[in-house]
Amino acid sequence: MQSEKTFQTDYRKWITFNKVLGEYKHLFDLYNVLEQLSSKGLYQLTKTEEEGETKYLIEQEGFEEALLIQSETERKLCLEYLKEHYLPKENIEGWYQEKVETEDRSQNLSYQEHDPTFVPKRDIESVKVHPKERRYLKIKTFISVLFYIVVAVGVVIAALENPNPVMIVANIIGVLLYIGIIAFAQRFLHGLFIGMMKGNAVRLNKSQYPEIYDIVEKQSEEIGLKEAPEVYVAYGPLNAFVTKFSRKKYLVLYSEVLETANAGNYDIMKFVIGHELAHIKRNHLGKAWLFPSLFIPILSLAYSRACEYTCDRYGAHFSEQGAFEGILALTAGPHIYAKISLKSFIRDAASQGGFFVWFTEKFSTHPHLVNRVLALKSYTKMGL
């Protein structure tokens, strides 16, 4: 066995005085080299047979001393030593992946927290409603009220032109009946939806996923709701929604949202839940009387997008880090979002303009994700 390096036959000393092994990635690579008997990363493994005994030479790039393991038994003892003193005894792969994700997330966390203009929001009352939500709501209200006035005036004019009381009553009954049929149909269809949702989802409570239910209860109280909504988990992509039926409010979390919390990171979960609860607080579910404004779809879509900006702000109140990570997860998925550099994403987002990008957003209920990131960054920096 030939090498320009000197040999160390005591793996304990070699590991202890090897400063590179202070980094978890190199430690993980060394373990895999010994476990899988193949070179990896900084480590080159050479296997030889001498006098019927298998020997392993491990050379580390940039380290003068090589490790010589002189038997198969010693190799196994070295693996046990690593697990006893440096690595978890079980699920080493999971430990490594969690380390990688934590490191990736810390880059975004440090970028956010070290921003000299970063101003954390402490009080729920300090959360500002997006100005466009108020503006578009006023326009929708004006259009709806104008519609009702026009209808009322039309009824009065019709009554004056044809003062037959029977016809007047018949017309009024006809209008009310028409409205009643539409309202009943809408309610019946929504009831079917609620039934399908309940029949194909898991309800969360104090005994079913209590840690998530606890977040919902605490945030509901802090945000000022009279009672927490019923919470359900359904299979689906990273998303959530709230709805209501009669006086009951429902929060539905899709399964990929819960997956983000499997490793103990609840930041995204807090943001998503806070965002959805804000729809209830802001009464986004209860403005059916504004239905005349739906005849101007561009206005209704603009109002919907403004509501999303407001709810992002509420979600960021509960976890600003989760707000940025949550939008990154919507962009890249719950498994690789941590690999995305928030700083680069924001820089690139600012340059992703153009007519078609602007135009397509006008026909969407939600702002483009890049715009949500930019809006959150502006809000957390300056409160705008």
**Do 266 and 365 have their domain in common?**
yes
Mean per-residue pLDDT for 101-129? 63
pLDDT band, very low/low/confident/very high, at 106 (cuts 50, 70, 90) = low
| b/e per residue 263-289 (b: at least 16 CB within 10 A) | eebbbbbbbbbbbbbbbbbbebeeeee
| b/e per residue 33-50 (b: at least 16 CB within 10 A) | bbeeeeeeebbebeeeee
Residue 157: its pLDDT value, please?
83
Is residue 24 one of the residues assigned to a domain? Answer: yes
**Do 149 and 216 have their domain in common?**
yes
Mean per-residue pLDDT for 221-249? 93
Please enumerate in sequence order all residues whose Cβ is within 8 A of that of 25, keeping only pairs 6 or more positions apart, or say none: 41, 96, 99, 100
**Do 76 and 157 have their domain in common?**
no
**Using an 8 Å Cβ cutoff, are 300 and 308 in contact?**
no
Determine the Cα angle at 228 with ends 222 and 233, to 5°.
120
pLDDT band, very low/low/confident/very high, at 5 (cuts 50, 70, 90) = low
Question: Which of the listed residues 87, 116, 141 is the one where a domain comes to its end?
Answer: 87
pLDDT digits 0-9 by tens, 251-272:
999 999 988 887 677 899 999 9
Other CB atoms within a 10 A radius of the CB of residue 83 amount to 14
The values of phi and psi at residue 283, to 5°, are 60, 35
Residue 143: its pLDDT value, please?
95
CA atoms within 13 A on the CB side of 233: 15
Residue 119: its pLDDT value, please?
43
Q: How far is CA 314 from CA 97, 256, 336, in A?
A: 31, 21, 25
**Do 152 and 242 have their domain in common?**
yes
What is the domain range of residue 279? 124-161+201-382
Mean per-residue pLDDT for 294-316? 95
Distance (Å, rounded) from C-alpha 56 to C-alpha 342?
Answer: 43
pLDDT digits 0-9 by tens, 30-50:
999 999 999 998 999 999 988
Question: What is the pLDDT of the chain when averaged over all its residues?
Answer: 86
Residue 116: its pLDDT value, please?
39
CA atoms within 13 A on the CB side of 339: 7
Residues forming a β-bridge with 232: 203, 252
Residue 91: its pLDDT value, please?
87
| b/e per residue 232-242 (b: at least 16 CB within 10 A) | bbbeeebebeb
Q: How many domains does the chain have?
A: 2
Residue 216 pLDDT greater than 70, yes or no: yes
Tokens matching residue 32: 């895999």
**Do 149 and 44 have their domain in common?**
no
**Do 149 and 275 have their domain in common?**
yes
Distance (Å, rounded) from C-alpha 234 to C-alpha 158?
Answer: 52
**Do 254 and 308 have their domain in common?**
yes
**Do 39 and 136 have their domain in common?**
no
**Do 213 and 309 have their domain in common?**
yes
Percent of the chain with pLDDT over 90: 50
List the CATH number of the domain containing 269.
3.30.2010.10
Tokens matching residue 295: 């005849």
Is residue 139 one of the residues assigned to a domain? Answer: yes
Residue 164 pLDDT greater than 80, yes or no: no
Is residue 224 one of the residues assigned to a domain? Answer: yes
Q: State if pTM tops 0.75.
A: no
Residue 21: its pLDDT value, please?
86
**Do 148 and 29 have their domain in common?**
no
Question: Which of the listed residues 32, 61, 87 is the one where a domain comes to its end?
Answer: 87
Query: Which of 3-7, 97-101, 117-121, 305-309 is most confident?
Result: 305-309
In the block, residue with structure tokens 């949500």: 372
Residue 168: its pLDDT value, please?
73
pLDDT band, very low/low/confident/very high, at 138 (cuts 50, 70, 90) = very high
Is residue 290 one of the residues assigned to a domain? Answer: yes
Residue 279 pLDDT greater than 70, yes or no: yes
**Do 245 and 378 have their domain in common?**
yes
Is residue 327 one of the residues assigned to a domain? Answer: yes
**Do 152 and 258 have their domain in common?**
yes
DSSP state at residue 246: T
